[in-house]
Chains A and B, each alone.
Chain A
């Protein structure tokens, strides 16, 4: 039972909704929305009678008008006008007698009310038909809706009528405007005799009549393959309508022009949003519609002649425009008038040309300088023999074209702008210009261009004279070279060096990087020079210069300062003084070796050595003089130190360089003399059982004692010695495993972890080498776990996976070392055939004091579980850390809490102990 009050409030609400808007559709939507909300409906639909244009109308009762679904809520239902036919029939037949009717399509229930005699409103209910008291209440509401709808339809029809009338008036105004244009054109042709004025007036009159933004007439000359701009008008109201008139090669518009020529009298229309396919095929859409900002363009061919046609062009820039039929028809009507104008122009021009020829003949033409004569548009009329001699072009190849044929591309647009400005303002230009000969060679010429004017002071031609100045330019270049290069060695001289050093000093200061300068003096050169004579000395200096140049990068500068002194400038040798120190030392060593090789002269061999002083810059307050002076000082120290040697200017730098050199040399000996050792740090599971060990490299130096790996591994990585060391580790470890296996100390559950450096892993034959070593040792590959860092994985993942898979096929396991410190990607990890993640000890050590570290460790452990990987914590030092890690679910550990890394013998003893004590490894109390 519906409550009467509720029904009354709804009635009131719906009644109000009909008066919310006079416009038909918004009014209906408002009403329908209120119905949907208040009547608990699934949908509301309004059907209306419509005319042939689909607009709602008020048909006489007997009319067979169309009934259409006009409005629906939800709007999505507009796609399903399911009752069109039924409602239409019902409206025509039973409207008068049955203004309300139900249709049941269970579970859908429809209730339709007639809207006057021009439509219906249909309410859709779900599962329950409309209650009779609701239907009764709605009759009054719908009546009110019908009268409002009627008023809205009448209002909108009257607006439509007004619109139609306005359109008719507009069409009439337009006809008048076009007729006026035609009259203006006729007047122009009758009165005007100057060809250019006629053309300019034609484009202006038509442009204004068509309300275009830009109008042009082109002579499309198919024989010369050019589109020659004859006249242009730009609408001053359009800001972006700048002048574009020019002569264009037809190559750009090949498809479009050919199509217009073939189809004749057919126009071409293109829009930015819908470019014409022919312009697309010509690939000029971007140029026209984007760069030139033309929104719509129309090409209308005017007059065809033998070998070409005239083209009327309209550009619309401010808005997109589709030209109406009436406008195209108008162009058809005035085309005849414009053809007459063009014919008149042709006759006038012929007469003018005859007069010009006479004037030209009088001009002295054949001189040693090249001469080019063009018309006022820049089209070449005539050239002389000198032109052909210099450019390689015969007269018939260039006449009718523009001097752009010679364009080299070396001059900027601004250059040409200034040149034309001078020509227009002063009638004269002179200057140097680089052009291109027919054979492609680019050459400089000294050119003078003069504008030729007629009686009225208007430019009719341009005369250009020029001479080839290639030879003069070459001499200038030679002089320039002599000023900056040493004539004996062809190396940069002191002046050029100072210039470059000044520049580099500024660069280093700005970018906060370090450069290096090497000062070289050839030991005892004076003695040899005096003994062999100057010519031989010079020959030796040339050989030295060549060797020096071969030892440096292209960006470095090798300079001869004079005599036997040379300077090598290494710009940006390093990001830090240490890096620059290393680079400078490496280059200096290379140079020292290169120069120390014997020199061959007149069948004899001579030995020369350099003393090299090195200075790094910038130091606080350094000037370029200071830098050279310091390098010179360092070089004298090298001489004092016994020659054939290298010295740094700063003692600290020298010390660092010496230490490094010593370390490198010692490392070479260390492998040969068996100075490396492996220590073994035990790894245990959560019950303390020994599950393996990590082999750790130690270097027992005969003089310095035990050197920690972090001091020599980075050097070995840089020098490549790491490869030999890595191989030594593999050989040594596999031999040791063999001994343990023979002693019954190995088990399939224990693995020995071996660290592999990135450089070693990325060797092409890394996998083959490992396989080879294991096969020779005779051990089970499953004893070995190779530990790689995240940085190995980040390079060339596919290669890494291939190598890992081929080694894993043998049984070798893989662990990611120092996990968490690099930039591991989960995506990579999932792809890698890994067995274990090793949590870096930096996190383990902070796990109790730093929440972030704890969170990282927890995430690593949780992630390993999901990836089904073992996880081991490194660097466990206290019971508390162990407890915490256990609680997070970590099941394997390594660290001082259990054992420090042990020498071979001690670890072997421990293995014996563990085997005897059921593999139980107690924590080391005082670790």
Chain B
């Protein structure tokens, strides 16, 4: 960590005072950029936070997440401030729904960013237009670049400003930050097919209207109720749906997970886009499979490292913690066990994960673990 970060400051109080102290400490230790992971349950009044962030003279980025990860532990309150030794080039895009159209222009004005290879991406996880933005990022920057990141926001699933920036806390936005070192990625989810396939016969953005030409919600509900004692009219939708995500089949046999989070009339609303005419499966999870997938993701990332690992970033879906419950700590400790001893493990529990696929494209994923290992080539390289 010595080479990449000047300091890591943890404030467990979740107060504005704690955040300010952590930032001031990072600045006093010579930080040139600030990366903030904070819990959405923190008490950070905007009228104090925004003027403070606006006064900072170094680039600041990061978000409010349902939870954060530090030293193999999940925290639901508190703030993690990373001070970085370099002033990192970054691009902030606002009005996310329409941002993809202007991205080419914005990138052409940031040549410093275009030259880099590895990027951290934060988005407002409840915005529209995330998939379009990621598609355009891939389109403009090409297949040789790598991305990792996640969606910020709170579990209340109500859109609100959630990204830290030099303009203050912002929402409906994304941040693309060039990383100084090298990044290697591993992405896995561990969910298995339970029923299907169903043809998406009408979908628009992240809303599925019909499956197999039937209203999507009724088909989804029938499928689950026919195979389990669960009944939708007796429980909150998400409390059942979190255990039965949809899987979009792709040609390379990867299954892209989509979390249905609410019902809109007869339609299912997911986190992330579902393509029209896609084939989808009803998925189910086993705790052992999910944890094994987390280990596998870490192993893949490790296998791609060609130097000394200096830090690990985890973007783990918040719904995995809801599903794994007390076994989530096991997932974290088993991931940590596969990392070098002195490797700092940090990250966030997100509303959607972002990672590039070696097969092409940058994807907005659900219920998935994206592991990013930051490494530096050996000195004699």
- State in angstroms the CA–CA spacing of A39 and B251 once bound together: 5
Q: Which chain B residues lie closer than 8 Å to A5 at the CB level?
A: 197, 199, 279
How large, as a class, is the contact surface on chain B? 20 to 34
Q: Is the CB of B251 within 8 A of A74?
A: no
- B145 — nearest CB in chain A belongs to which residue? A76
CB distance from A12 to the nearest CB of B (A): 6
Are B251 and A38 in contact, CB atoms less than 8 angstroms apart?
yes
Assess whether B139 is in contact with A75, with CB atoms less than 8 Å apart. yes
In the complex, whether A127 has a CB less than 8 A from a CB of chain B is yes
- CB atoms of B27 and A76 under 8 A apart: no
Q: B218 on the interface (CB 8 Å rule)?
A: no
B324 CB–A CB distance under 8 Å: no
Contacting residue for B359 out of A125, A851, A866, A867, CB 8 A: A125
Chain A residues positioned under 8 Å from B140 (CB to CB): 74-76
Whether A859 contacts B24 in the complex (CB less than 8 A), given A12-B277, A41-B360, comes out as: yes
- Minimum CB–CB distance for B311 against chain A, Å: 22
A321 contacts partner chain B, Cβ-Cβ < 8 Å: no
Contacts of A32-56 to chain B: CB distance below 8 A? 33, 36-43
Q: B29 near A866 (CB under 8 angstroms)?
A: yes
Expressed in whole angstroms, the minimum distance between the Cβ of B190 and any Cβ of chain A is 20
Given A6-B279, A76-B142, do A40 and B252 touch, yes or no (CB 8 Å)? yes
B251: nearest residue on chain A (CB-CB)?
A: A40
Is A419 engaged at the interface, CB distance under 8 Å to the other chain? no
For B21, B104, B250, B251, which residue has the most chain A Cβ atoms within 10 angstroms? B251
B208 to chain A, nearest CB (A): 14
The complex places the Cα of A866 from the Cα of B197 at a distance, in Å, of 60
**Count the A-B residue pairs with Cβ separation under 8 angstroms: how many?**
97
Q: Say which residue of A2, A9, A33, A126 sits within 8 Å of B360 (CB atoms).
A: A126
In B32-63, the 8 Å CB interface with A consists of none
What is the bound-complex CA distance between A126 and B254, given in angstroms? 14
Given A75-B140, A76-B139, A858-B21, is A866 in contact with B360 using a C-beta cutoff of 8 Å? no
Q: A124 contacts which chain B residues (CB < 8 A)?
A: 360
Q: Are B361 and A36 in contact (CB under 8 A)?
A: yes
B21 A40 Cβ-Cβ under 8 A: no
* Docked complex Cα distance between A858 and B17 (Å): 9
Q: Most B CB atoms within 10 A — which of A3, A6, A36? A: A6
Q: Contact between B277 and A13 (Cβ–Cβ < 8 Å)?
A: yes
In the complex, which of the residues B24, B104, B357, B358 contacts A863, with contact meaning CB atoms closer than 8 Å? Answer: B24
**Across the interface, do B359 and A41 meet the contact criterion of CB distance under 8 Å?**
yes
Question: Is B249 on the interface with A (CB-CB < 8 A)?
Answer: yes
* In the complex with contacts A75-B139, A858-B17, A866-B28, A40-B359 CB distance below 8 A: yes
A10 to B135, CA, bound (A): 19
How many chain A residues have a CB neighbour from B under 8 Å? 39
Cβ 8 A contact of A13, one of B104, B254, B276, B360? B276
CB distance from A756 to the nearest CB of B (A): 27
Q: Is A713 an interface residue (CB 8 A)?
A: no
- A77, A134, A859, A863: the one contacting B142 at CB < 8 Å is A77
Any chain B CB within 8 A of the CB of A826?
Answer: yes
Q: Does A862 lie at the interface of the complex (its beta carbon under 8 Å from any beta carbon of B)? A: yes
Contacts of A76 in B (CB 8 A): 139-143
B241-262 vs A, Cβ < 8 Å mask (1 yes, 0 no)? 0000000011110100000000
Cα–Cα, bound, A435→B262 (Å) = 85
Does any Cβ of A come within 8 Å of B88's Cβ?
A: no
| Cα distance, A675 to B162, chains bound together (Å) | 65
A164 within 8 A of B: no
Q: Give A863 to B23 CA distance when docked, in angstroms.
A: 11
| In contact, B249 and A38 (Cβ under 8 angstroms) | no
CA distance A5 to B143 in the complex (A): 29
Residues of chain B with a CB closer than 8 A to A866's CB: 25, 28-29
Given A36-B361, A39-B251, A863-B28, are A74 and B138 also a contact pair (CB < 8 Å)? yes
Residue B278 is within 8 A (CB to CB) of chain A in the complex:
yes
B-side interface residues toward A, CB under 8 Å?
17, 20-21, 24-25, 27-29, 104, 135, 138-143, 197, 199, 249-252, 254, 275-279, 357-361
Spell out A's residues near B (CB within 8 Å): 2-3, 5-6, 9-10, 12-13, 16, 33, 36-43, 73-77, 124-128, 131, 134, 826, 851, 855, 858-859, 862-863, 866-867
Q: List 25 contacting pairs A-B, 8 Å CB cutoff, sorted by A.
A: A5-B199, A9-B279, A10-B277, A13-B275, A36-B360, A38-B278, A40-B250, A40-B251, A40-B360, A42-B359, A74-B141, A75-B104, A75-B139, A75-B140, A76-B141, A77-B142, A77-B143, A126-B360, A127-B359, A128-B252, A131-B251, A134-B251, A826-B24, A826-B27, A866-B25
